[in-house]
Amino acid sequence: MIRDKAVTKSSAFLGKLLSEVRPIAKASLEGNERKILEARMGRHLFGLKDQEDQTPLKPLPHRQQFMVRIFYDYNEISTATNRLRQSEEFVMKLAKSSSVNAESISYHVEKYLEENYILKERLLAFLRRIAKLLKQKGMHELLVKVHDLEVSVEKSFSGIVRTRGSHIHVERFSDDELKRLATLDLLVIHGRMNELEQYRRLIIRKVVKKWSETIKTNNKSIQQLLDFILEFLDPVIFEKLPPPT
């Protein structure tokens, strides 16, 4: 589904990035560097301290440092995107669950909206990092285009952020149909008004279908936006910005 499209459309960018990072990772697992890392990890796991741990490892060449930073940014964006896909799968499974209720649906919708907010912030941070580097190099034409991408990200996520609310860790998400379902849960499950169970099941199917379709459509749009951003940034990151080795 969406996961397959993500693999095919983003594979070119990810493939290039991995070809840059793989040799760095391999080198860190060989020879003396590997022994140092293993010793530090062992001391970390057992809560031991050593003055040697404060000594930086051999610094990477400038190009490799740049690519490692890009890899970290990409990994954070990819993690948030994968969680959006997981939310889509979880909500679809709720339709077949016998124990589904307003609380379980709300939980998954809430987490989905939170991950949208996180993805938006990570995308903006990534683009702003690229913009800063372009400004330093005096690449003003590309800088303007990256700023345009920032605006596109803000616009694309604006509706979702408004749905969730700006105080993401303070206010709970609410939905009229979910509120109605919560009332039915209370009457049927706790009040034992079994005559309302059929109507409650009808509302469950309606709410799950609504959010399943909403999340699926939204994820597709987000993937298209990511593909567009990565396609534009590909030559910028691998050709224009990297410092000499």
Q: Is 204 helix (H, G, I), strand (E, B) or coil?
A: helix
pLDDT band at 144 (very low <50, low <70, confident <90, very high): very high
Asked if residue 108 belongs to a domain, the reply is: yes
Q: Give the total number of structural domains in the chain.
A: 1
Residue 8 inside a domain? The answer is yes
Residue 133 has pLDDT above 50, yes or no: yes
Alpha carbon distance 106, 57 (integer Å): 47
**pLDDT, position 27:** 67
Rounded Cα–Cα distance for residues 138 and 115 (Å):
34
The answer to whether position 245 is within a domain reads no
The per-residue pLDDT for range 172-222, each reduced to its tens digit, is 556 788 888 888 889 988 899 999 999 988 888 898 999 999 999 999 999
| Token duo for residue 83 | 């969680």
Q: How confident is the model at residue 228 (pLDDT cuts 50, 70, 90)?
A: very high
Short-list 59, 84, 45, CA closest to 216:
84
Q: At CB < 8 A and 24+ separation, what contacts does 73-80 make?
A: 73/122, 73/125, 73/126, 73/129, 74/13, 74/14, 74/17, 74/126, 76/122, 77/119, 77/122, 77/123, 77/126, 77/226, 80/115, 80/118, 80/119, 80/122
Mean predicted confidence (pLDDT) in 86-114:
88
CA-wise closest residue to 232 among 127, 158, 138: 127
Query: Is the separation of the CB atoms in 156 and 221 below 8 Å?
Result: yes
Q: How far apart are the first and last CA of the chain?
A: 40
* pLDDT (0 to 100) of residue 125: 96
Q: What is the token pair recorded at 197?
A: 């169970």
pLDDT at 110 over 80: yes
* More confident site: 132 or 43: 132
Show the domain range for 153: 2-94+101-240
Whether residue 6 is predicted with pLDDT greater than 50 in this model: the reply is: no
Tell me how far the alpha carbon of residue 19 is from its chain's centroid. 22
How far apart (Å, rounded) are the C-alpha atoms in residues 17 and 22?
A: 9
In this prediction, residue 45 carries a pLDDT of 80
| SS3 of residue 125 by DSSP | helix
Is 70 inside any structural domain?
yes
User: pTM of the full predicted structure?
Assistant: 0.79
Report whether 173 contacts 113 (CB < 8 A). yes
What SS3 state is found at 168? coil
What pLDDT digit, counting tens, does each position of 36-76 carry? Answer: 777 877 887 888 878 777 776 667 788 888 998 999 999 99
